[in-house]
Amino acid sequence: ATLLSPWAHAELIDDMNDRGELRIALEANMPPFNFKDDGKLTGFEVELGQALATELDVRAEFVVTTRDDLLPGVESGKYDIALNQVAVTDELKDRLAFSEPYSYSSAQLIVRKQETRPLGTLAALKGHSLGVVQGSQFAEQARSVEGADLHSYPDASQTLKDVAGDQIDAAISDRLLVPYAIRDSQQAVTEGATVGPILSLAIPFQKGNPAFQSAVDNALQRIKADGRLAALSQKWFGMDASKPPKR
């Protein structure tokens, strides 16, 4: 058999159309982005994935995977795309192609309701303890805080318990997750300042697929133009995150 060069692979758009499905990787453990409710997948990115597949005239096939497998799986072509709160970075752009952004976010601090100290910036956390969820895109930002005592947690719920119980001074998370996490935790914590740069959340897929890129971007534009994206954003985040926040 003749060995095909890696450049001779079929365009992703043809693969997707032949299968009649869009394979979407997610972790299903990040409410309100994507999670399981009574065993059923739901959340902002699940509804967005369904709308995207409808626009592309295929079925949405969600595959629940781990953080370690998610992006390598997209890179290798095991999954067509990931919808998993992925923020675009220069490092990731070396490995993957990205759609236009579907949401914008930034880091936000979470503090105790009774907090009186001026913990309004990352610099103000010098000499204080700061909680962050392992592997989140904010772990990097948290590490950049000089003189802060960093505590790493497997998930947001314990982090908020420790802020409420005065075990740590503050936590850092995604501003889109914070209202939901606070409501869900029923802890005596409140929203602090938004900090750091604005992040663009976008859809990663394998490089070298211009027809697929243009189909996904066009589908996203239609979902934005008729107000569906803003409505999904309001439903799940309580704000329209489809446009960059005004600073």
Using one digit for the tens of pLDDT, what is the confidence trace for 191-221? 988 888 899 999 999 999 999 999 999 999 9
Q: Using CA atoms of 104, 220, 75, 210 in order, give the dihedral in degrees to the nearest 10.
A: -130
Across 77-88, average pLDDT: 95
pTM, full prediction: 0.84
Give per-residue pLDDT as tens, 2-21: 455 454 457 999 999 999 99
- As a three-state string, the secondary structure of the chain is CCCCCHHHCCCHHHHHHHHCEEEEEECCEECCCEEEECCEEECHHHHHHHHHHHHCCCEEEEEECCHHHHHHHHHHCCCCEECCCCECCHHHHHHCEECCCCEEEEEEEEEECCCCCCCCCCHHHCCCEEEEECCCCHHHHHHCCCCCEEEEECCHHHHHHHHHCCCCCEEEEECCCHHHHHHHHCCCEEEEEEEEEEEEECCEECCCCHHHHHHHHHHHHHHHHCCHHHHHHHHHHCCCCCCCCCC
User: What's the CA gap between 130 and 150, in Å, rounded?
Assistant: 5
Question: What mean pLDDT comes out for the span 230-245?
Answer: 92
Residue 1, pLDDT score = 47
Write down the mean pLDDT value for the chain: 90
Spatial CA neighbour of 131 closest among 154, 107, 151: 151
- Partners of 23 in beta bridges: 61
pLDDT score, position 31: 87
pLDDT tens, position by position, 122-165: 888 889 999 988 777 777 778 888 888 999 988 777 899 999 99
Strand partners, 67: none
CB–CB of 71/96 below 8 Å? yes
**Contact status, residue 168 vs residue 162, Cβ threshold 8 Å:** yes
Contact residues for 28 (Cβ-Cβ < 8 A; gap 6+): 34, 35, 36, 41, 62, 64
**Mean of the pLDDT values across residues 28-45?**
94
**Is-contact 97 209, C-beta < 8 A?**
yes
Percent of the chain clearing pLDDT 70 (strictly above): 96
Question: Could you tell me what percent of the chain has a pLDDT over 90?
Answer: 63
Residue 9 is predicted with a pLDDT of: 57
For residue 123, what pLDDT is reported?
84
